[in-house]
């Protein structure tokens, strides 16, 4: 494979293909309202909750739903709020999955990439939650690598090792895989130590942390990946 000719293009889902933040803020507003905390900034609360999730991804495997519930309880408690209803309240977030919007560049980029290359998704998610998303319903993938199937998560590498193993069954070596993902704290530490090439999709224009492996490319959207590879 040359730098611009991968056989398999893999993608993170939430934040890369689906606008998870915009698609879940309303759910978290309802969660905070249940906790009598409508005054709490929903965006800051969401980011604290997500960082709690990322920390738990390094622990022994548990379903994503359980991780999210525990992280919600922790984040509520850290804000001095009642955490007793966290397991029930997190259902508001899961219910939002079916309506999470695709980023505008996704359909046309997958059409370009999929014309000549195989596509895969790599996601820290349970199978049933992924199945209701527009990504699962609207696109075909040669490989669907979920945390449930891998019995592990990004960033510890388990999910990417699962991707590499599935690709090998299709006759695709790891050197022929290009991964695109938006999370510098899960995609880069998970993929780069295994030798995968990674395009960091920096849709929000945030600074790259010095504590994560450097990506091969930094792009503002996934359309840039198709332009990088060419037709």
DSSP 176-207: GEEEEES-TTTHHHHHGGGT-EEEEE-TT-PP
Q: What is the pLDDT of residue 3?
A: 53
User: Do you know the residue count of the chain?
Assistant: 231
What angle do the packed helices 20-34 and 42-56 form, to 10 degrees?
Answer: 100
pLDDT tens digits along 168-198: 999 999 999 999 999 999 999 999 999 999 9
pTM of the full predicted structure? Answer: 0.93
Chain mean position to CA 179: 12
pLDDT tens digits along 136-169: 999 999 999 999 999 999 998 999 999 999 999 9
> Does the pLDDT value for residue 231 go beyond 80?
no
Q: Which residues contact 70 (CB under 8 A, 6 or more apart)?
A: 52, 56, 86
Q: Using an 8 Å Cβ cutoff, are 90 and 72 in contact?
A: yes
Q: What is the mean pLDDT of the chain?
A: 95
Q: Which residues contact 54 (CB under 8 A, 6 or more apart)?
A: 155, 183, 185, 186
| Residue 44 φ/ψ region, left for φ over 0, alpha for ψ in the -120 to 50 degree band, beta for the rest | alpha
């Amino acid at each position: 494979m040359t730098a611009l000719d991968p056989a398999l293009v893999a993608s993170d889902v939430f934040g890369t293909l689906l606008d998870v933040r915009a698609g879940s803020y309303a759910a978290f507003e309802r969660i905070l309202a249940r906790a009598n905390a409508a005054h709490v900034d929903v965006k800051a609360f969401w980011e604290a909750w997500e960082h709690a999730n990322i920390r738990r991804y390094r622990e022994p495997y548990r379903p994503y739903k359980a991780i999210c519930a525990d992280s919600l309880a922790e984040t509520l408690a850290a804000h001095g709020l009642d955490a007793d209803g966290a397991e029930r309240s997190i259902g508001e977030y899961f219910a939002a999955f079916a309506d999470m919007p695709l980023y505008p560049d996704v359909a046309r980029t997958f059409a370009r990439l999929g014309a000549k290359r195989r596509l895969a998704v790599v996601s820290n998610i349970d199978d049933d939650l992924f199945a209701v998303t527009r990504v699962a319903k609207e696109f075909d993938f040669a490989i669907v690598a979920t945390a449930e199937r891998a019995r592990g998560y990004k960033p510890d590498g388990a999910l990417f090792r699962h991707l590499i193993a599935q690709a090998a069954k299709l006759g695709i070596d790891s050197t022929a895989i290009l991964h695109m993902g938006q999370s510098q704290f899960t995609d880069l530490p998970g993929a780069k130590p295994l030798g995968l090439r990674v395009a960091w999709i920096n849709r929000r224009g945030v600074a790259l942390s010095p504590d994560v492996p450097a990506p091969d490319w930094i792009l503002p959207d996934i359309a840039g990946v198709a332009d990088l590879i060419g037709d």
